Amino acid sequence: MRNAFAREIEAIAEENNRVVLLSGDIGNRLFNPYKEKFPDRFYNCGVSEANMASMAAGMAMNGLHPITYTITPFNTSRCYEQIKIDICYHNLPVIVVGVGAGLSYAGLGATHHSFEDIAIMRVLPNMHIMCPADAVEVGLCLREAVRLGKPAYIRLGKKNEPVVHDTPPDLTLGEGVVLKQGDKVCILSCGNITPVALDAAAQLDKRGIDTEVVSMHTVKPLDDALLKERFRRFQLICTVEEHSLIGGFGAAVAEWMVDYSTRNPKLLRFGINDAFVHKSGTQENARQMTGLTAEHIACSIEKTYTQG
């Protein structure tokens, strides 16, 4: 995902001379081609994320379109006040990009885990939140955020995530993308966990439970029309995210159901429980510890579906 971001921001900067990139101190070799082309439109802000957010706000107030980029917890919770007051309060065209979201940096421990970023960003007025499912959606989400011209948060994985799109979809902010058709269960998946959701759906299909999968790349605003149609059509709706169950994508869907749905099918949410992940290991190890595997998701859905 981060490689796709680097390629796309370089292409966007070619088209739009107001785009500037601000990065934390994370090596930045990824952006060497960008820096060679646009040396005066790249700023290494060091280990100073709060200042980076405020710098971006100041640039936006002067007609630029800044994009801040660093590891997710450092670009969200560490500089939350600056995002809230400097960026969102003034409704500025700043894009905050968090890389390595969820359990992507599982081996580096709690400092690098991000289970809370969607929750804290979702409550900010004027903020829009996008969580691309794969590298293809990364570039499309970035272009949508630039087009929007308002505060936006884009939540990325790390690298080498499976691609879920054979060809680029028609992606629009606030409109989900159907990845797989089905008529018995609907899985609404958010972000880089989506390949796991597709694997779970494939397992369910083999068990006779025809399962639809939708990439809900936009958490705020939610796709109201899609949710209304799915909540009318399906008896079981599932949400999948690599984020805390508190305040995240699944919570947003549950809130939507209470406020807007004319009928209430069973809602089954998969995410990270209210606990830190203390053991170190790979992202796959951490997903096993938190129940975010295709097998666990498929078995849980099958049990709930067969119980009616």
Alpha carbons 38 and 30: distance in angstroms, whole number: 14
Nearest to 235 by CA among 202, 205, 259, 209: 209
Alpha carbons 143 and 13: distance in angstroms, whole number: 11
Identify the bridge partners of residue 177 per DSSP, sorted by sequence position.
215
Residues 6+ apart with CB under 8 A from 11: 139
Q: What angle do CA 296, 299, 302 make, to 5 degrees?
A: 150
HSE (side-chain half, CA atoms, 13 Å) at 234:
26
Backbone angles phi, psi at 20, to 5 degrees: -130, 150
Supply the pLDDT for residue 241: 99
Supply the pLDDT for residue 90: 99
Identify the bridge partners of residue 95 per DSSP, sorted by sequence position.
67, 152
Q: Which CATH number fits domain 2-155: 3.40.50.970, 3.30.479.10, 3.40.50.300, 3.40.50.2300?
A: 3.40.50.970
The fold of 177-307 is Rossmann fold (3.40.50)
Alpha carbons 267 and 262: distance in angstroms, whole number: 14
Please check whether residue 253 is in contact with residue 227, taking contact to mean a CB–CB distance below 8 angstroms: yes
Please check whether residue 82 is in contact with residue 111, taking contact to mean a CB–CB distance below 8 angstroms: no
* Entry pTM: 0.97
Tokens representing residue 274 in the block: 């209210």
Supply the pLDDT for residue 263: 87
Instruction: For the chain, give every residue range classified as CATH 3.40.50.920.
Output: 177-307
E strand map for 30-156: 42-46, 65-71, 95-99, 128-130, 152-155
Nearest to 86 by CA among 6, 151, 176: 151
Q: What angle do CA 138, 142, 145 make, to 5 degrees?
A: 140
Please check whether residue 130 is in contact with residue 175, taking contact to mean a CB–CB distance below 8 angstroms: no
CB atoms within 10 A of CB 117: 26
Tokens representing residue 7 in the block: 């390629």
HSE (side-chain half, CA atoms, 13 Å) at 8:
18
Tokens representing residue 281 in the block: 């290991």
Supply the pLDDT for residue 26: 84
Helix axes 294-307, 194-206, angle to 10 degrees: 50
E strand map for the chain: 19-24, 42-46, 65-71, 95-99, 128-130, 152-155, 177-180, 185-190, 211-215, 218-220, 236-244, 266-272
pLDDT along the chain (308 residues), means of 10: 95 98 89 96 96 99 98 98 99 98 95 97 99 98 98 94 95 98 98 98 98 99 98 98 99 97 94 94 95 98 94
Tokens representing residue 232 in the block: 């009318």
For 60-114, the pLDDT digits (tens) are 999 999 999 999 999 999 999 999 999 999 999 999 999 999 999 999 999 999 9
